[in-house]
Chain A
Amino acid sequence: MSQPAGRTDDLVHLLDGNTFVVSDRRGDITPSPTIPTGLFSFDTRFLSKWLLTIDGQRLHVLSVDDLQFFETRFFLVSGEPTRYVDATLSVVRQRSIGGSFDERLTVFNHALEPAEFRLRVEIGSDFADLFEVKDVRQKVAQPTASVGDGYLRLSYQRENFLRETIASSTAPARVDEHGMTFDLRIEPHGSWITDLHVETLVTGARGRHIQASLKGHAVELKRRLNEQLGRWVAEAPQLACRWAALDQAYRRSLVDLAALRFRSLTYGEDIPAAGLPWFMTLFGRDSLLTCLQALPVKPELAPATLRMLAVTQASKLDDFREREPGKILHEVRYGESVAFEDQPHSPYYGAADTTPLFVVLLDEYERWSGDAELVRFLEAEARAALDWIDSYGDLLGTGYVWYRRRNLRTGLENQCWKDSWDAISYRDGRLPDFPRATCELQGYAYDAKVRGARLARLFWNDPAYADRLEAEAAQLRERFNRDFWVADGEYFALALDPDGGQVDALASNMGHLLWSGIVDPCRAGKVAGHLLGDRLFSGWGVRTLAEGEGRFNPVGYHVGTVWPFDNSFIAWGLRRYGFSEEAGRIAKAVIDAARYFDGRLPEAFAGYDRSLTKYPVRYPTACSPQAWSTGAPLLFLRTLLGLEPQGDRLVVDPALPDGVSQIELLDVPGRWGRTDASSRPT
């Protein structure tokens, strides 16, 4: 995804699907054009100001309790507490989201005297589109405020497009257009409480909240969120190991995956959103890869994602949205800029990898679950996806998947996972012309054909089609190993340019080729050597681009940083080709890095050498939690235990890294029911 902006350190996040709140540690939201602070829902900022004062003074934070991903408690005092002067008023803000934004304010008077003071909540909204927060521009319409009986209504209307925030309080308040005021008197050792309630309205038919007019889109109630989270964690396999970093990362991942589940407006099942704060929406690539990572632990994410992506599979051409029949979507957004077609995410299809990966996930999910019904149900879509690879995907008719944007204004230049503008380069830093065929796309296409053949033979009753796909896969593999192999460096080129020339930078993309199985086995050793060599391996993981390449930058988004998700697929690939020790080294490095992030792997960290920094340096604007980083520990776990479905049973073939004595994953769900996977010989 394209590069985010703004620092998000020292902020407090609450998250529930595509609604989230980002505030400072006092719980205050102050207007910021560059940092995504505020209350967001459906890609719109519904609160850009939410500020608590007592007698005009801001409060001071004592502590913050993150209770759950959807609930936080802030402990505050009035006045600066010092060793000599105790604060006499303290305030607890207990905040939660889930359908609405709620905050219980409790004020305690600790003094022997009654306290009289004025408490005020400043409330405002700029109704910024999430895209505007990143790239500020003048809004077409102006937000308005109106005072009702006990509530404040903030509105933004542009033509029929209407977004509203309605704030109310259970305790009587004086409401004005900028907030609410409470003139209070609290007895000695007494307290006062109010519940503040904020509704975010995306107005649909007949002025009602759009979600309220939809069947199958029940608004989640908070008490149910807690229950659901408990069940979600309890139903997952239990991990037993003496590796504290893995244990912590595993638990964190389960909770974060629950928080990132998201329900789209037009689809009734939960699917993983990509990441906080910029990507709380459906991304085809991120959702597919996250589902692949999570298969051993949360297989139920996969069918929901596959059905959602099947329903939205493109059926026609559209230049602005880069649609072609058979293509699987890249990104869905709901904000103003999408509504008025400044941005193409309605949905946007500018990705060349989602379509083959759709087939890959469908097959891999069946291998785990035995869900033949879904494979039959999605036959038409899977065939259309396979057709896309050789038709619209092969722009030059050379037997490779290429990309080249048609939306020159807002489309993505690079339509692969490394989608920043400078991600694909030659060794000397030059950028190739378009179209481009990056190497991992060819691996995915190969894998899709091989897996599609299995599905055709076993479930679609079409052996002729299976034969054809297998023959095509074999030809692709041969062609690929010839055209992409950089002879003088003995590695696979990052891409081909439109003349068929090798875009010869050394990059992590090669690792995905091992996962896809397109690499000629006699070359896998060289590839593994590069991946674990000094130029790519930082000690904390494999860098996106090798040190020494023209565009290498250890803090460049896709040109030198280490991405945990990328590493999880690389390790899986190494294991596939028998490089267990190398896979274990990568897994160990990245899981150990998670310790420095409380078990929550960020989107990316800097590609500095481990000996230089001693700890992994967080990439400044990295999203966290990020779905495929959240999924990384789960895939590492699979790789270390060597979990592989074979027929109706789960094969366990552990290969643990040095210093790790034992890992057990109990109650792994699959076509076998539930089974235990242990690194100990049974």
Chain B
Amino acid sequence: MADPVVEFFDGLERAESTVLPVRVNGTARFDLNQDGETDHWYVAIQEGAVSVSHEMRDADVVLNAERGFFERLVTGRANLFASLLRRDFTVEGNLQLLMPIERILPQPPGAHDPRAFAPGRNDRT
């Protein structure tokens, strides 16, 4: 099975400006911990174009998380803001870049289009 983290970062490079407003600029580093080791993913966003590398470089915002948690995040099973409040990951730097990061995360599995509900059904309980 493919590694969701690798898939996520690969997808970022491919997605480019289709998911991010053109004006978003900045750098983010994701430090992912697993078995006592830390993996670095450095993401630079320039005019909506995304490049990803494994460099341990200073970034505008640095997220530090367990890899297991990050897998849940990049598969839509964890919510970025609720997780931030729970401190499931930590973040340092410019939090304003979190919103663009949130935008590139996938939606929860099984999310519905509101139009998919049969019309007229009463949902009051």
Point out residues on A near B: beta carbons under 8 Å: 159-162, 203-206, 213-217, 265-268, 311-312, 315-324, 334-335, 338-341, 346-347, 377, 380-381, 392, 394-397, 404-406, 408, 413, 431, 433-435, 498-499
Contact = CB atoms under 8 A, between A and B. Distances in A.
A351 to B, nearest CB: 13
Given A395-B119, A408-B125, A318 B107 contact: yes
Contact of A404 (B81, B91, B114): B114
Contacts of B88: 160
9 contacts: A160-B86, A204-B91, A265-B95, A267-B96, A318-B111, A392-B115, A395-B115, A433-B122, A435-B119
Given A205-B90, A216-B94, A320 B115 contact: no
Given A161-B86, A216-B94, A320-B108, 12 more contacts: A159-B86, A160-B86, A266-B98, A311-B96, A317-B107, A322-B114, A338-B81, A338-B82, A339-B86, A380-B22, A395-B119, A408-B123
Contacts of B103: 315
Nearest to B90: A205
Contact of A346 (B64, B82, B112, B115): B82
Contacts of B21: 380-381
B81 A346 contact: yes
Nearest to A315: B103
A682 B85 CA distance: 57
Interface string B2-23: 0000000000000000010111
Given A206-B90, A213-B92, A392 B113 contact: yes
A317 B96 contact: no
B83 to A, nearest CB: 8
Given A161-B86, A315-B103, A340-B82, A214 B95 contact: yes
B1 interface: no
Contacts of A340: 82, 86
A340 B110 CA distance: 20
Contact of A161 (B85, B92, B107): B85
A320 B114 CA distance: 12
Interface residues of B, number: 39
A335 B85 CA distance: 8
A266 B111 contact: no
A404 B91 CA distance: 36
A215 B95 CA distance: 8
A94 B87 CA distance: 35
B120 interface: yes
Contacts of A324: 113-114
A434 B85 CA distance: 33
B117 to A, nearest CB: 6
A266 B82 contact: no
A215 B59 CA distance: 13
A377 B21 CA distance: 10
B93 interface: yes
Interface of B: 19, 21-23, 64, 79, 81-82, 85-88, 90-96, 98-99, 103, 106-108, 110-115, 117, 119-125
A268 B93 CA distance: 13
Nearest to B79: A346
Given A213-B92, A215-B94, A311 B99 contact: yes
Q: Among A214, A316, A405, which residue has the most Cβ atoms of chain B within 10 A? A: A316
A265 B88 CA distance: 17
Given A160-B88, A341-B79, A392-B113, A268 B106 contact: no
Contacts of A204: 87, 90-92
Nearest to B120: A498
A397 B115 CA distance: 9
B86 A404 contact: no
A162 B111 contact: no
Contacts of A397: 115
B111 to A, nearest CB: 4
A334 B124 CA distance: 28
A516 B52 CA distance: 47
B125 to A, nearest CB: 7
A262 to B, nearest CB: 15
Nearest to B82: A346
Contacts of B94: 214-216
A268 B90 CA distance: 19
Contact of A317 (B23, B81, B113): B113
A339 B82 contact: yes
Nearest to A321: B79
A217 B92 CA distance: 12
A53 to B, nearest CB: 36
Contacts of B108: 317-320
Contact of A216 (B64, B82, B96, B124): B96
A334 B86 CA distance: 10
Contacts of B107: 316-318, 323
Q: Among B64, B107, B114, which residue has the most Cβ atoms of chain A within 10 A? A: B114
A434 B82 contact: no
Nearest to A407: B123
A452 to B, nearest CB: 18
A395 B110 CA distance: 19
A346 B115 CA distance: 23
B76 to A, nearest CB: 8
Contacts of B96: 216, 266-268, 311
A323 B114 CA distance: 9
A266 B86 contact: no
Nearest to B62: A205
Contacts of B113: 317, 324, 392
Contacts of B90: 204-206
Q: Among B79, B108, B119, which residue has the most Cβ atoms of chain A within 10 A? A: B119
B108 to A, nearest CB: 6
A161 B125 CA distance: 32
Contacts of B64: 205
Nearest to A267: B96
Contact of B119 (A205, A268, A377, A396): A396
A425 to B, nearest CB: 13
Nearest to B125: A408
B93 to A, nearest CB: 7
Contacts of B93: 213-215
7 pairs of A and B residues whose beta carbons are closest in the complex = A339-B85, A316-B107, A160-B87, A205-B90, A317-B111, A498-B120, A346-B81
A406 to B, nearest CB: 6
Contacts of A217: 95
A330 to B, nearest CB: 14
Contacts of B19: 315
Contacts of B125: 408
A631 B15 CA distance: 43
Contacts of B95: 214-215, 217, 265-266
A405 B123 contact: yes
Nearest to A310: B21
Contacts of B117: 395, 404, 406
A267 B112 CA distance: 29
Contact of A498 (B106, B110, B119): B119
